[in-house]
Amino acid sequence: MKGDARGGAILVVDDDQALAAVLKEFLEGEGYSVRAAFSAAEALSVQETDPHISLALVDLIMPITDGLTLSDELRRRNPDLHVVIMTGYGTIETAVEAIKRGAEDFLTKPFDYVMVRKKVARLMEVTELRERVAQLESNLERHACFENFVSVAPAMQKVLERARLAAQTEAAVLIVGETGTGKELLGRAIHAASPRARMAFVPVNCGALPRELVESELFGFRKGAFTGAYTDAPGLFAAASGGTIFLDELGEMPKEVQVKLLRVLQERELRPVGSSKAVAIDVRVISATNRPLQELRTSLLREDLYYRVATVVLQIPPLRARPEDILLLAQHLAARLARRYGREVTLAHSALELLLGYSFPGNVRELQNLLESAAAVSADDPQVVTDRDLRPLLSAEGAAPRTGGACSMEQMERLTIEQALRVSEGNRTKAASLLGISRDTLYRKLRQYRA
């Protein structure tokens, strides 16, 4: 048995010691940590001494205490425990009763070891997913302002590291990325990690402001400045005083307003519409755009304004450029949906393969909407989302193969592990932590891929 059982161990319970030994040997050959017990009393004792038991394979017919009664007690002690009933009496009635009383599945004797492998792998992946989510949540303590970014992609890690460094300065930041990549989320993270965190973060969609009202919305106005100005209004810059203003879709701002914005940034003061007096401001500016950087710089923004807002440029890569994050994000989002709906939501291999071949024109936001749509129209508990559930929700634009072709899930998983090992400089414990899986699971994956 491996020394680190953090990834979850398997408990085999059967009064037939020879059969239990064979099953234990098979599962250990698959890379799992396995304990064996030959009675209900011994099983409960093992559970008490080993808190890492996450899956129990329990024989239905045993002396003194039967398998269903034992399963009830095991789950009472650990509600997250997965239970699979093993029986030589594989009737529908037995299976239904086992499922009704909380068992995840059942296996019939003699064993079909291909089926054993599949069912055990599915349930252990659920355990790994729970651990991964727990690992991501534990990262709050280390990077409390960036915890919402679920990524192992080196390109995204570099962006986040630059963002953390920029957060500690007063430099103006320009975030560039396609729609749905999380530009505002990154802006909020920078603000929350900055010395201004206790003050306001004011988001402004420059493209949504009426052209004739942009100036008054941003800089405020005085009573009587125009028809309908019945009282003074401070404006969004004043509302962000001491904090951060987030100018989303900056390239949509009219050129005549850009001139006034430049003056505000240079002089650190603004003049509300209808006022003859300037008002000092103390605001950090973070801007964002979904336009290509070159287009923003040469045709959409005044050059002098561009240099004022782009002291630090952060370019968020689209999801199709970091496909190794698709697996991690999909599982993370499924776990979040499971918590929201109060039932188990997992992704079938076919669903993950489909997602890996999709180019995600809507990026992370589209992935989130896809999974929410699939979960919202189902009441299954547990729910296993398949490719048939997702395929009708995909856009024709995204169905085209990604540049360079799509990798299989196994290929992408191997790539993700290799990148994690490079990032951690070969330290397997750190790599497992980065991936959000146990060290045992990483070792098993390394043996599988011979990495």
CB neighbours (10 Å) of residue 290? 18
Q: Which of 134-138, 281-285, 435-439 has the highest mean pLDDT?
A: 281-285
Sign for the pseudo-dihedral over CA of 88, 117, 122, 126:
positive
Position 17 scores a pLDDT of 93
Eight-class DSSP state of 101: T
Position 40 scores a pLDDT of 93
Residue 144 sits at φ, ψ, to 5 deg, of -60, -25
Q: Could you check whether 9-138 and 154-316 share the same CATH topology?
A: yes
Q: What is the mean pLDDT of the chain?
A: 85
Q: Return the closest-CA partner of residue 361 out of 326, 413, 310, 396.
A: 396
Helix (H, G, I), strand (E, B) or coil at 426: coil
Q: Return the closest-CA partner of residue 194 out of 162, 157, 165.
A: 165
CATH number, domain 320-449, options 1.10.8.60, 3.90.226.10, 2.40.50.140, 3.40.50.2300: 1.10.8.60
Domain coordinates in residue numbering, the chain: 9-138, 154-316, 320-449
* Structure token pair of residue 11: 């408990």
Whole-number percent of the chain with pLDDT over 90 = 43
- Give the residue ranges of DSSP H helices in 316-408: 324-341, 349-356, 363-376, 387-390, 396-399
* Structure token pair of residue 157: 């890690």
Give the global pTM: 0.64
Helix and strand numbers, DSSP H then E, in the chain: 20, 14
Cα–Cα separations (whole angstroms), residue 37 to 28, 41, 60, 86, 110: 15, 9, 14, 14, 19
Q: Is the pLDDT of residue 99 over 60?
A: yes
- Give the residue ranges of DSSP H helices in 168-274: 183-192, 214-219, 236-239, 255-267
CA distance 70 to 81: 12
Fold classified for 154-316? Rossmann fold (3.40.50)
Helix (H, G, I), strand (E, B) or coil at 310: coil
Eight-class DSSP state of 393: G
- Is pLDDT larger for residue 295 or for residue 398? 295
Q: What is the CA radius of gyration of the chain?
A: 28
Cα–Cα separations (whole angstroms), residue 150 to 143, 153, 182, 372: 12, 9, 11, 17
CA distance 120 to 198: 48
CB neighbours (10 Å) of residue 202? 18
CA distance 184 to 112: 51
CA distance 206 to 65: 69
Q: pLDDT digits over 27-76, tens only? A: 999 889 899 999 999 999 999 888 789 999 999 888 888 888 999 899 88
CB neighbour burial string for 235-259, b if at least 16 within 10 angstroms, e if fewer:
bbbbebbebbbbbbbbbbbeeebbe
Position 226 scores a pLDDT of 79
Strand-pair partners of 86:
59, 107
Cα–Cα separations (whole angstroms), residue 67 to 12, 45, 73, 261: 12, 15, 10, 72
**Alpha carbon 173 to chain centroid distance?**
24
**How would residue 406 be classed by pLDDT, with cut points 50, 70 and 90?**
low
Q: pLDDT digits over 346-388, tens only? A: 888 889 889 988 999 999 999 999 999 999 888 888 899 999 9
Position 142 scores a pLDDT of 42
Q: Is the pLDDT of residue 96 over 90?
A: no
Q: Does domain 9-138 have CATH number 3.40.50.2300?
A: yes
Are 221 and 236 contacting, i.e. CB atoms less than 8 angstroms apart? no
CA distance 195 to 166: 11
CA distance 9 to 32: 7
Helix axes 324-341, 349-356, angle to 10 degrees: 130
Eight-class DSSP state of 38: S
3-state secondary structure labels for all residues of 33-92:
EEEEECCHHHHHHHHHHCCCEEEEEEECCCCCCCHHHHHHHHHHHCCCCEEEEEECCCCH
Helix axes 154-167, 409-423, angle to 10 degrees: 40
